[in-house]
Structure 1
Amino acid sequence: MGKSANTVRFAAVGDIHVTRDSAGSLRGFFAQASAAADALLLCGDLTDYGTAEEARILAEELGAVSVPIVAVLGNHDFESGTPEVVTEILTRAGVRVLDGGSCEIEGVGIAGTKGFAGGFGRGSLGAWGEPAIKLFVQEAQQEAMKLESALAKLRTARRIALLHYAPVTGTVQGEPVEIFPFLGSSRLEEPLLRYPVDAVFHGHAHRGTPEGRTINGVPVFNVARPLLLRARPGQPPFWLYELPREETGVPQAAPGPAAAQAVP
């Protein structure tokens, strides 16, 4: 499907898990996403072990993309203890890596952060007991605060939130219930209720569900590449989403999801 003069299209995908053996294998995929969209959104776990070698391979593969690229990191990108190296390499390649920051593309504001685990609703882990538990919860709270800060800075009429961890349970359904607390946190949903967005994209839950909603009805999309490959056989493993082109400026009313749609 070609690009449109009336809409802004985003190709979203996460959990690419680039390894040293990925060289030369993703350029066609990225070129296809680039041709279909006005921007590419990457939802974390971009590398498999978070090494500089993997990041350089990913940067080379992304050379096939001719549209802006916005990304957040995932837990795998932290595995080697040098997420700043992954960020630096991708930034040099032209990728805008968000860690509690925001940017604007074609009049659409994008707020992004990795997010964290901790569980959902009444099953959320509380900051009580051992120091290690309190530190775990503090990390989830800090990531939620990053998201809220990024959303608060946006002045566009249309907004997208970019995460790695899930903010709702709807998109982790299909995973073993026992690991739900490690797939996301409802603390990430709270900023989305205070600063409404048109759509949320995340990854991480490879065996989850592609679509869900926040409690106020905003669509949430799990765009983990392994999930999209399995759930939508025969289709490119990225999620294509479009929003109407609008003039930028401080909105007079909170944006809603009704005017936007996922492109089949």
Structure 2
Amino acid sequence: MIRIAAVGDIHLGTDSPGSFAPCLAGIGDLADVLLIAGDLTQHGSVAEAEVVAGELAGAEIPVIAVLGNHDHHGDQSDQVVKVLAQAGVRTLEGEGMVLRVGDICLGVAGAKGFGGGFAGASGSDFGEPLMKAFVRHSKEVSAALRNALDALECDIRVALTHYSPVPDTLAGERPEIFPFLGSYHLAEAVDGGRAQLALHGHAHGGSEKGRTAGGVPVRNVARPVIGRAFALYEVGTHDACCS
């Protein structure tokens, strides 16, 4: 059994030193890995990334993250990733990595994801170039997630994104903004890539639990949703996740 601590949308700013590190005290007794589902910063600046790095540097377990839309806002995402790496945080974008926990190999594939909507209310790559580019990007990042999942050689696969793969975990948000909170293309990647758990953030007003059409448990771990420093999930080699 793998124990996963997960949170998204911690939104640390330059005024946040000392605000998150205390929440991680003793996390090694509770979890084997910490997964962060994007929006680590407020505005995606290097200065904010340095604060995040300082808060995560003392984590007792491996930390894996994806970036969110806030982390891209300052057009410094490459620098943000480098700063986080200096603190030992591995940031994934269309990539995967494998951790060995005892005799089990955990594979995590990560991508920011993007919007686009869900069945019956989704955008299509037709019409204006800007609309085509919007939907094309959603399809491309979803395809990259699928490829990363497929490439994992492991016992357990987890998909980590910022945007949601299903509408279930958006319940509570205004339906009009669902297309900007996630995309069904991500769910297709999760199902096709044989993930056993999908984690995302972004939807602060959403709900924690959902499921893909293929039956994969989906969890919205945005901090305002889970209401605590991190949520804990257990995943076995053949079992669905248990919270």
Provide TM-score, normalisation by structure 1.
0.88
In structure 2, which of residues 203, 224, 227 is the aligned counterpart of residue 226 of structure 1?
Answer: 224
Aligned length: 239
In structure 2, which of residues 205, 219, 223 is the aligned counterpart of residue 207 of structure 1?
Answer: 205
* 2:156–2:195 CA contact under 8 A, matched in 1: yes
* 1:168–1:213 CA contact under 8 A, matched in 2: yes
C-alpha distance in 2 between matches for 1:200 and 1:193 = 10
* 2:27–2:61 CA contact under 8 A, matched in 1: no
Among the aligned pairs, what percent are the same residue? 44
* 2:116–2:138 CA contact under 8 A, matched in 1: yes
Which residue of structure 1 lines up, in the alignment, with residue 78 of structure 2? 84
1:96 maps to 2:90 = yes
Provide TM-score, normalisation by structure 2.
0.95
Misfit runs of 4+, over 4 Å: none
C-alpha distance in 2 between matches for 1:35 and 1:205 = 29
| 1:147-166 to 2 correspondences below 5 Å | 147-166=145-164
* 1:11–1:40 CA contact under 8 A, matched in 2: yes
| Matched letter for residue 61 of structure 1 | E
1:261 maps to 2:242 = yes
* 1:140–1:185 CA contact under 8 A, matched in 2: yes
* 2:57–2:88 CA contact under 8 A, matched in 1: no
Which residue of structure 2 lines up, in the alignment, with residue 239 of structure 1? 231
Residues 19-77 of structure 1: per-residue CA shift (max 9 Å, x gap):
01111111111224444211100000000100001000010011230110100000000
Which residue of structure 2 lines up, in the alignment, with residue 74 of structure 1? 68
Following superposition, the deviation at residue 227 of structure 1 comes to: 1.3
Which residue of structure 2 lines up, in the alignment, with residue 252 of structure 1? none
In structure 2, which of residues 33, 37, 40 is the aligned counterpart of residue 43 of structure 1?
Answer: 37
Structure with a larger share of its residues in strand:
2
| Matched letter for residue 195 of structure 2 | V
Which residue of structure 1 lines up, in the alignment, with residue 144 of structure 2? 146
* 1:48–1:77 CA contact under 8 A, matched in 2: yes
Gaps of 5+ in 2: none
C-alpha distance in 2 between matches for 1:69 and 1:34 = 11
Residues 97-135 of structure 1: per-residue CA shift (max 9 Å, x gap):
000000112211111100000111121100111100001
Residues 169-192 of structure 1: per-residue CA shift (max 9 Å, x gap):
000010001111100000111112
